[in-house]
Amino acid sequence: MTDYAIGDIQGCYERLRDVLAKVDFSPSRDRLWVAGDLINRGPASLETLRYIESLGDAAVVVLGNHDLHLLAVALGGHSPKRKDTLHDILDAPDHDRLIHWLRQQYLCVHDEKRNLVMAHAGLPHIWSVDQAVACAREVEAVIRGDQAQDYFSQMYGNQPERWCDTLTGMDRWRAITNYFTRMRFIAEDGSLELATKESADNAPPGFAPWFTYPRQDDVKVIFGHWAALEGNTGSDRFIGLDTGCVWGGALTLMNLDSGELIHCDCA
């Protein structure tokens, strides 16, 4: 069995099948780790979602901001944005099943054997791995439970900008969500700057890319979300797999054991 991780697919279904064909991926023997943003902006969100869902236990999925946006539209009363490509999912006859499946996915996955964490936006330096996993499980329970509608109706927002253990309720859940799915630039005290989406060299004053801060452990982190990085973090520990497929870049697949990167041109 081979485990592969893949960056932001964002509805680029044909490119997904192309890159999997390069490694002769088979769900009967292999697993696919998906670093979030399965859908949206690309041409085939419904086909992508159906395919990943069909993999069953052969898929390990963390939610990205676009995946949560679909749930916020479906469950939280929000309207699709102008550039969204979600209508095929929302109008699909199997819509309810797909939405239910998406709600069962993770915000953070920790592979202890590989000493590896996968989260869509990354792992902030202010959290240990155990703390991050606990925070993820807390919000995952909300998304899967009876409070999901209230959560999604209030999910959006940049406040609170900094984590504090004493946060409660929606402020706590929103902060956790933002660290896992929207983080790029962060301050030493853990404050998030969520407006800037440019490359790592364009950090606002007082902020730096989250992966440049020292950690107290040696865990490896797989993430997506930050296409402007083009996969370059300057570190073997922090592996960015969003290489901008939906923007005409590439879709990147990584062999989790060998570290080999397999690319599919999306131009």
Q: What are phi and psi of 148, to 5 degrees?
A: -60, -45
Question: Could you read off the pLDDT of 225-241 as tens digits, one per residue?
Answer: 999 999 999 999 999 99
Q: How many structural domains does the chain have?
A: 1
| Residues 67 and 36: beta-carbon distance below 8 Å | yes
Question: Could you read off the pLDDT of 193-230 as tens digits, one per residue?
Answer: 999 999 999 999 999 999 999 999 999 999 999 999 99
Which amino acid is it at 138? E
How much is the pLDDT for 250?
96
How much is the pLDDT for 267?
82
- Over residues 2-26, the mean pLDDT reads 97
Residue 261: is its pLDDT beyond 90?
Answer: yes
Question: Could you read off the pLDDT of 134-186 as tens digits, one per residue?
Answer: 999 999 999 999 999 999 999 999 999 999 999 999 999 999 999 999 999 99
How much is the pLDDT for 154?
97
Assign 27 to helix, strand or coil: coil
Q: DSSP E strands: which ranges in 67-219?
A: 108-111, 116-119, 185-186, 192-193, 208-209
Provide the domain limits for residue 187.
3-265
How much is the pLDDT for 182?
98
Q: What percent of the chain has pLDDT over 90?
A: 99
d(CA 66, CA 78): 13
Is the pTM for the entire model greater than 0.75? yes
pLDDT-based confidence at 41, cuts 50/70/90? Answer: very high
What does pLDDT average to over the chain?
97
pLDDT-based confidence at 71, cuts 50/70/90? Answer: very high
- Over residues 249-265, the mean pLDDT reads 96
Q: What percent of the chain has pLDDT over 70?
A: 100
CATH of the domain at 254: 3.60.21.10
